[in-house]
Structure 1
Amino acid sequence: MRRTLSRFIDAKHPTMTDEIFYQYFNNISLPKDIPCCEITRLFLDKDRRDEGNLRTLPASKALFLAMIMYCMKNGYPGMHAVTSRGMYAIFRQANWKVDVLQKGLSEKGEAVYYIYMPANQQVIEDIINKDKNSAWLRETLTQLNNL
């Protein structure tokens, strides 16, 4: 069964960016001198979303809020990731102002992006305020704060 999944790895440990994804870019590496993490396996299972009666709600934004809260609670100012063009577009549509650090090509010749996603209160507000379901997202944020 597919699951909603996001895996965080502290940059002090071996990461996919440093061990696998580096080959798609020109000389990338996660910072080792500041608190930093990599997020991988980032996806939202649409079947599980639908089973949870979340089809009309911004489940991906709720996941993004959880990711941001994780970083804030663990002292990370943000997270790094390698994403597809589609995932990068989802971040932009969510009003998350991610920074493209470098664009590369995957082994299939498809565009991939090495990005930095800031994690702070302003990013949370940017994501929530532009959504018609902002009340639901605020309630979700309250629940996340209580974890």
Structure 2
Amino acid sequence: MIQIGQKIPSSTLSQLTAEGMTNHNTDELFANKRVVLFAVPGAFTPTCSEAHLPGYVVLADEIKAAGVDMIACVSVNDAFVMQAWGAAQNAEAIAMLGDGDGSFTKALGLDMDTANFGGIRSQRYAMVIENGVVTTLNVEEPKKFEVSNAESILTALK
């Protein structure tokens, strides 16, 4: 698993916006920025839709005021699903990134196999990335939602 002080692995994440589909290289996406990246096991799933993403939507302005250039949500879903979920959650301030094949999640070492529930998914986590390097990493224990929420990250940023 990736650790604090390590560089984010080079990978590709997709994003669908009003301008169309963009395939972001993570080296470029996280370069020269302070980014909050949080991951969910799946778009439209209960905890993700009822608490995790909404918390970042509500606190987006405060997080950005703490010196964050970008807030991004990633899931092992395609960019179309991530865009639709973001629209349904009023997440305009959050970059909704798809890791369709799970390669980014696997490269981080934060993948999990949910078997017939959904296959390979991401563990629930949040991290702060500064110029491509992880400076904060909060990984949830299985079936928990305590350290990757927006409030915890906002506290870590102050």
TM-score (norm 1): 0.36
Greater RCO, CA 8 A, separation 6+: 2
Higher helix share: 1
Provide TM-score, normalisation by structure 2: 0.34
Higher strand share: 2
